[in-house]
Amino acid sequence: MTSRPPPARPSTVRMQKTKQPSSGARRPAGKPSGGPAWRRWALGGWLMLALWFGVEAARLPDVGALRTQNPRTTALMAQRADEALEAGTKPRVRQSWVPLGAVAPHAVDAVLCSEDARFYRHEGVDWTEVENAFEQSVREARLGRGASTLTQQLAKNLYLSTDRSLLRKGKELLLARQLESHLSKQRILALYLNVVEWGEGVYGIEAAAREHFGVSARSLSVAQGAMLAAMLPAPRRWLPAQRPETLRTRAGVIIGRLEREGRISAAQAREAQAELSRFFGVPPAPGLVADAS
């Protein structure tokens, strides 16, 4: 018998199992596990901010009435009254409304020069100053300079408090835009000059002129107007009666700016600097000769 060759065994194909990563395996570096989470957080933050602005805009006070009506009181006055009562003292209010025409022009210029040199060139918010202030706050990890325009200051005085929170700042920006939309620049300036704080219980430039110098706002000298403008960053601390050096220095700088911008003549600037020196009881700067009056 012819023997048959033994049947060939089929070749065994070895299948390699693909290793599945265990639940605890480390993911490749550089690939975030949850996707661009920071983008979702940023988008959520912007949406919340937009929602907040929308709600607050709907709740803003009607500023249109300010076109023809002077406010009887302000949020700042109410706050100061509360502070006085808490301290056990009687609130003091000195205020006399006057039109812009009843204020010495150089005193108005001094305020603009000190507080908002670009008042007539912005629409309520100076975004360049806001950006600079924000960058400074980030660097110093705290709220720094306010970068507030005159319109923003008016909004704060009329409707808000003196706290320095970001939410209050947001409301201030919204209100400033409303004021600029409904009122003329001249009306905003007139309101500001009549409600801004100029000492303990002293509001407005007419009351300030009489309180600190015994004259009307119309009769303020260049030096006196510069001193009132120099008070504004700290109106209850930098009082003329106390002759603080900071007030003298700031007033002198303001007089210099008024001269450089052509708001006053060189002769007026020299006389104002001389008056400033006499008021503070210091010798005039070398080479400064006041014109005879």
Q: Which strand (E) or helix (H) includes residue 95?
A: strand 94-95
Nearest-5° angle of CA 157, CA 135, CA 151? 25
Residue 71 in this model has a pLDDT that exceeds 60: yes
The answer on pLDDT for 172 being more than 60 is yes
Residues 101-128 as b/e (b if ≥16 CB within 10 A, e otherwise) read eebbebbbbbbbbbbbeebeebebbbee
Q: What pLDDT, on a 0 to 100 scale, did the predictor assign at position 240?
A: 98
pLDDT at 8 over 60: no
| Dist. CA 200–CA 91, nearest whole Å | 9
- Give residue-wise pLDDT tens across range 34-48: 457 766 665 555 555
For the segment 219-248, what is each residue's pLDDT rounded down to a tens digit? 999 999 999 999 999 999 999 999 999 999
* Domain locations in the chain as residue ranges: 53-96+105-280
How far apart CA 239 and CA 230 sit, in angstroms, is: 10
Q: Name the residue among 183, 231, 186 with its Cα closest to residue 205.
A: 231
Q: Which fold has domain 53-96+105-280?
A: Penicillin binding protein transpeptidase fold (1.10.3810)
User: How far is the C-alpha of 184 from the C-alpha of 57, rounded, in Å?
Assistant: 20
Amino acid at 12: T
Give residue-wise pLDDT tens across range 107-152: 999 999 999 999 999 988 887 776 776 676 666 665 545 578 999 9
In angstroms, the CA 196 to CA 94 distance is 11
Name the pLDDT band for 283 (thresholds 50, 70, 90). confident
